[in-house]
Amino acid sequence: MSKKDNYMKTRILGRSGIEVSELGLGCMGLTFGYGPPANEADAIALIQKAYELGIIFFDSAEAYSQGANEAVLEKAVKSFRDKVVIATKFGFQNGDASKGVDSSPARIRAVAEASLKQLNVDVIDLFYQHRVDPSIPMEEVAGTVGDLIKEGKVRHFGLSEAGVERIRQAHAVQPVAVLQSEYSLWWREPEKEILPLMEELGIGFVPFSPLGKGFLTGTINEATEFDKNDFRNIVPRFSEKNRKSNQALVDLVKNIAVEKNATPAQISLAWLLAQKPWIVPIPGTTKMHRLQENAGAVAVELSKEDLSKIETAAAIIEIHGARYPQHLQERVGK
């Protein structure tokens, strides 16, 4: 197998100057979204292991258990806080994603103050709008975060799942450092308009769900049963029928993995890393062995021939099912 140095290198997120590890850690699943929260000691141990593996970019949000996620992260990174970059987010009513969006200036400020306290920091490294709020002009949102930056409470402004028009509106008022949206081998919509815009404006791109919410690991099939509180139960793409239909993509990734002496997850992450030098995926996990496996993706080298082969094979595979149920789909790409 052709392998690169197994050492986690760094990348710069666009023209922002934010230097992070080439893979980050999405912390959501430690407390939210995929069944019961992880045991706190286990969650802390996992975050600390990520740091040992060279990961210095951690992603949280107020909406991940109303601040509990930030609190766990704070405990985990306390001894090396000045060596890592922490991202968190605002944008939901009372920090509850089920209650709808709220990016009013007062709410943005309230979340900033709460996050500063939960994370036990003087400044938030990267502050994302979690979802676009159609009722608040984007210029007002960007201006409010710009004021927080001037006040020294926030370093960089980010958006999540925003569309081209809103990104341009925000960027004109306060430079958008990073966009975080879903992107993977089985959700390639950002390639149409978003990635070209990132290139044009010099914005870094952080793909969440880079492993297709676990599907691209090859460990999920039509017989898989999720915890009753697992978000994937309401995702059309994860219906039993669609999981069966979508196995074709997993089979492609598995075949490449065998050739490269890697795992499907590592191939999926290596593919993302090969797309652009300013892309930094943030796979999440609650399992130590998965964390180590994901980190190993930085050692997998995909040649131009490998990438071309994946492209050709993927082009004829139809992906079945929407990535969100309708009520959540309405919040993205605005």
- Element housing 156 (H / E): strand 154-160
Coil, strand or helix at 296: helix
What's the rounded Cα separation, in Å, for the pair 199 and 218? 32
Q: How many other C-beta atoms are found inside a 10 Å radius of the C-beta of residue 142? A: 22
C-alpha span between 149 and 216 (Å, rounded): 38
Task: Report H helices in 101-246.
Answer: 105-119, 138-150, 164-173, 194-201, 240-245
Q: What 3-state class would DSSP assign to 270? A: helix
Q: How many of the other CB atoms lie within 10 Å of CB of 160?
A: 23
Helices 68-77 and 105-119, interaxial angle, to 10°?
40
What are the structure tokens assigned to 123, written together? 């400044």
How far separated are the first and last CA of the chain, in Å rounded?
43
Nearest CA among 108, 36, 119 for reference residue 74: 119
Catalytic residue among 7, 34, 51, 64: 64
Q: Give exposure, 184-221, as e/b (b: 16+ Cβ within 10 Å).
A: bbbbeebeeebbebbeeeebbbbbbbbbbbbbbbbebe
In three-state secondary structure terms, 230 is strand
Any catalytic annotation for residue 128?
no
Residue type, 285: T
User: Are the C-beta atoms of 281 and 24 separated by less than 8 Å?
Assistant: yes
Query: What's the gap between Cα 225 and its chain centre?
Result: 24
* Amino acid letter, residue 219: T
Give me the sign of the Cα torsion angle 111, 112, 113, 116: positive
Active site residues: 64
